[in-house]
Amino acid sequence: MKAVEAAEHMMSEPNRRPPFFLRPWFTVPVIILTVLMVIGVWLGLGFIRRYEAKAAEFDLGKLGAVESASVVYDRYGKEFGKIFIQNREPVPLDQISPYLVDAVVAAEDSRFYEHSGVDLFGIFRAVLKNTQAGRIRQGASTVTQQLARNVFDLRDRTYDRKILEVFLAMRIERAMSKTRIMELYLNRVYLGGGLYGAQAAAKGYFGKPAKDLSVGEAAMLAALLKSPNNLSPWRNLEAATQERDFVLTRMVEKHKITQQVAEAAKQQPLIVQPKGGFVSQSYAVDLIHQQAQGRSVLSR
């Protein structure tokens, strides 16, 4: 009798269902997603290790190896001319105007002191700004990426090259201080008119050392980084002035200078010295160059 009552009681209870996390409609997708995540992590780590290994093959010692001009002086110690392949005069960062550093940061890499070689936020911002402007006004490459590209000639327009540039920039950031990176960058960059580096450009365009650049002059040099030859004041003074003013505006936006300082600089006409005035090419300089080459050959 009791067995019959127990059976009737069990039949009267509703069928109990397992909890939702044990049901097939839930467990199967979770298992599939977990497997896919594990595969993705494994592939991602392999990808990172591959490019880190490729970036490690570069000799960072080459970052400081730049060609510089040989300066010829007369008997009174006055500069008489230069002999060079690339017209460059490397100087320490403390011999470069802080205005130029601020202008480069504002125009080229506003988060230079915050990122670790690549600026994802900067990439998004550049895409947004360029879309609004209808043309390219801001680049997405950081100063460190540009340094890596220029030193190691990573100029191929491929995804592989761009990814390698990113990993190399991050390696440079781990190896060097921000101050050193900026110093190397400003001594290496091409600024149009056959001028390489801040010192040669300051003397070439304005007839003064880089440490004496005004805020407007510094803004013009920073503007040249986007297109050194096309924006050179020797080629297009109006375009150089417009881009100078754009950089001054960026410096205000990034709190590098005040609005009053920027407006005063914009009111100043852009005055540069004549092209070629910064180098005295003469028979005497050519003769010295030939003699120097002859001695170099004989000493081998």
Query: What pLDDT does 284 receive?
Result: 44
Tens of pLDDT, residues 232-263:
999 999 999 999 999 999 999 999 999 999 99
Q: Where are the domains of the chain?
A: 17-56, 86-280
DSSP state of 210: G
Residue 21, pLDDT > 50, answer yes
Number of residues in the chain: 300
Q: Are 103 and 256 in contact (CB under 8 A)?
A: yes
User: How far is Cα 108 from Cα 221, in angstroms, rounded to an integer?
Assistant: 12
Tokens matching residue 296: 């170099």
User: How far is Cα 90 from Cα 189, in angstroms, rounded to an integer?
Assistant: 11
Tokens matching residue 166: 């990113």
* Helix (H/G/I), strand (E/B), else coil: 244: helix
Query: What pLDDT does 161 receive?
Result: 84
Tokens matching residue 53: 């290994």
pLDDT average, residue stretch 113-133: 76
Query: What pLDDT does 58 receive?
Result: 84
More confident residue, 141 or 286: 141
User: How far is Cα 206 from Cα 80, in angstroms, rounded to an integer?
Assistant: 18
Other C-beta atoms lying within 10 Å of the C-beta of residue 77: 7
Superfamily of 86-280 according to CATH: Biosynthetic peptidoglycan transglycosylase-like (1.10.3810.10)
What is the distance, to the nearest Å, from the Cα of residue 213 to the centroid of all Cα atoms in its chain?
22
More confident residue, 198 or 152: 198
Residue 118, pLDDT > 60, answer yes
Percentage of the chain lying above the pLDDT 70 cut: 72
User: How far is Cα 211 from Cα 97, in angstroms, rounded to an integer?
Assistant: 4
Tens of pLDDT, residues 41-54:
777 777 678 877 78
3-state SS of 167-198 is: HHHHHHHHHCCHHHHHHHHHHHCECCCCEEHH
Residue 17, pLDDT > 80, answer no
Tokens matching residue 64: 């400081």
Ramachandran region, residue 134 (left: φ > 0; alpha: ψ -120 to 50; beta: rest): left
